[in-house]
Chains A and B, each alone.
Chain A
Amino acid sequence: MLKGYFELKVFKAAWPIVFGYIPLGMACGILAQKVGFDWFQMLMMAVFLFAGSGQFIALAMIGSGSTIMPVVLTVCIVNLRHLLYALILNQYLSKESRLYKALFAQEIVDESFAVNQNQFIVDTEWNGKNALGVNIIGHSSWILANLAGLYLGNSIYIDTALVSYALIAMFIGLWSFHFLNARLVLTGILGGLLALLLSYWLTNMLNVVVATVIAAALAAFYETRMGR
């Protein structure tokens, strides 16, 4: 029954996510405790919102006395980028059942997308079960870390900056898997520079979404015009 979901290679692929999520999720739980959340509110947020930056922003806004609508609209924009991830992962998972897709989609975040997308490329045997396994392991560790942070509160010290950097280092590692030709490298750098430029006007990660769409479009256009 559980075969395929939790094989050794699934854990091997998922460990960097768990490694980053435990401290980062606890930091999020600590923030929730300061805002006055109880275990049920924390659990609902971790299960149904499940988004690192989305949860931090929502908690900060609730903590500073915001009403419902601004929180929902802000997080809506912050989480728009998951659409890009789903577009790509759908290519590999289009033959899975509806129930599978409904569950899988809820667990799409930066980290699970990055790891799965890479696995689908480097491992020809990587399948839907393995991918959902990575998602479930990541989501579970996030939920547990949130609850642990909520209970432990300020009795523990977490170097949030160092932990956040571990995830940035993971993204640099995942990015490097795409350094297969000059055009892929340049498209990444272009995406980065555009994101910085656009960040003067577009906040809440919208700069990341727009920069990605434009940089990838320019690269595709160039390839169509110039050939390979």
Chain B
Amino acid sequence: MSYSDTLLCILGLFIVSYIPRILPFALLGNRELPRSFRLWLQYVPTAVFGALIFTSIFGTGADGFRFSWENKELLASIIVLPVAAATRSLPYSIISGLLAYGAAQYMLG
């Protein structure tokens, strides 16, 4: 890709990334949403966190899952999850995660 092509590419990336970001604001505005839609929205955050976290830990079927006790993300998360649930604190979650992941790296090499 030439220099000008990369800039053109970035312009294209901006357009396709901005559309999903702005569309809900542009279309919904301060309109009252139907009850069923609000009910659905209420469950979106927990579902998206579950989906992001599980995929980050186990990888994807297309690339092959990391279902093993050598999986450092899994080992660290087994520590972080109860810490997070008990403390409901971001600092404790992150610090326990770094320590647990560091320990897993040290032990598994």
Partner of B13, one of A45, A67, A169, A174: A45
Contacts of A174 in B (CB 8 A): 49, 90
Q: Closest CB-CB distance, A210 to chain B, in whole Å?
A: 9
Interface residues of B in 31-69 (CB under 8 A from A): 31, 33, 36, 39-62, 65
Q: Closest CB-CB distance, B53 to chain A, in whole Å?
A: 5
Docked-complex contact A105 and B22, CB < 8 angstroms: yes
Seen from chain B, the residues whose Cβ lies within 8 Å of a Cβ on chain A are 1, 3, 5-14, 16-18, 20-26, 28-31, 33, 36, 39-62, 65, 72-73, 76-77, 80-81, 84-85, 88-94, 96-98, 101-102, 105
Contacts of A195 in B (CB 8 A): 50-52, 54-55
Docked-complex contact B49 and A41, CB < 8 angstroms: no
Docked-complex contact A90 and B25, CB < 8 angstroms: yes
Q: Closest CB-CB distance, A123 to chain B, in whole Å?
A: 14
User: How far apart are the CA atoms of A6 and B38 in the complex, in Å?
Assistant: 31
Partner of B96, one of A65, A73, A104, A169: A169
User: How far apart are the CA atoms of A37 and B5 in the complex, in Å?
Assistant: 12
Docked-complex contact B90 and A82, CB < 8 angstroms: no
Question: CB of A71 within 8 A of chain B?
Answer: yes
17 contacts between A and B (CB under 8 A): A44-B10, A45-B13, A68-B8, A72-B9, A83-B24, A86-B23, A101-B22, A105-B22, A106-B21, A162-B102, A168-B77, A169-B101, A175-B50, A175-B53, A175-B84, A176-B85, A192-B53
Contacts of A80 in B (CB 8 A): 20
CB-CB nearest in chain A for B76: A165
User: How far apart are the CA atoms of A76 and B24 in the complex, in Å?
Assistant: 16
Docked-complex contact A196 and B65, CB < 8 angstroms: yes
Query: Known: A68-B9, A91-B41, A166-B98. Is A203-B60 also a contact (CB below 8 A)?
Result: yes
Query: Known: A75-B17, A175-B84. Is A220-B43 also a contact (CB below 8 A)?
Result: yes
Question: CB of A200 within 8 A of chain B?
Answer: yes
Q: Closest CB-CB distance, B24 to chain A, in whole Å?
A: 4
Query: Known: A80-B20, A208-B52. Is A220-B39 also a contact (CB below 8 A)?
Result: yes
User: How far apart are the CA atoms of A195 and B62 in the complex, in Å?
Assistant: 12
CB-CB nearest in chain A for B82: A176
Docked-complex contact A86 and B94, CB < 8 angstroms: no
Docked-complex contact B1 and A68, CB < 8 angstroms: yes
User: How far apart are the CA atoms of A220 and B89 in the complex, in Å?
Assistant: 28
Docked-complex contact A45 and B10, CB < 8 angstroms: yes
Docked-complex contact A110 and B52, CB < 8 angstroms: yes
Interface residues of A in 163-181 (CB under 8 A from B): 164-166, 168-179
User: How far apart are the CA atoms of A5 and B43 in the complex, in Å?
Assistant: 29
Docked-complex contact A72 and B47, CB < 8 angstroms: no
